[in-house]
Amino acid sequence: MVNFSNWTGKGLVLLFAVVNYLSFMMLLAFIPVVLVFAVALIISNKRLIWLLSITTGTLSIIALLIDTRVYSMFKFHLNSTLLSFIFNRQWRVIFDFSYHELWVFAGIIVLVIFLECCIAWFVWKKIIIPARFKTGKTIASLSL
């Protein structure tokens, strides 16, 4: 029988909980990457990859922000019922957002898009070096 009452047992339980939580969050974060990765393998157009990466990243962050706001209002996360309320014509009656809150949210969206563009530019110009592509193609052709 395992004893979790000592410090070692409690540490193992805590480590397991943290690793389990972070791995689940990383899985959720990498779901949009699958689409971008599949398109990047098929079509190697820089602008398309940029556009798709920025769009999926921005939509993921916006969904997280909307979920956070909805949870603070109703104490449960987004589901199909709430999505039908959001896309209803009378959504302003249900959610009661002021124009100021809507403008702040629009500003946050613009800020997120700007930050995503800056990150995409930095990754493409500073981290991905074109010489790596030539080396990768050489290695790939030699392995065939």
- Write out pLDDT tens, residues 111-129: 999 998 888 888 777 766 5
Highest mean pLDDT among 13-17, 18-22, 90-94: 13-17
HSE, side-chain direction, 13 A CA sphere, residue 5:
2
pLDDT value of position 31: 78
Average pLDDT of the chain is: 77
The residue ranges of every structural domain in the chain are 1-42, 44-132+140-144
Prediction pTM value: 0.62
**Residue for token pair 């790939």:** 140
83-92: pLDDT as tens digits? 887 787 777 7
Contact indicator for 66, 91 with CB cutoff of 8 Å: no
Distance of CA 9 to the CA centre of its chain: 34
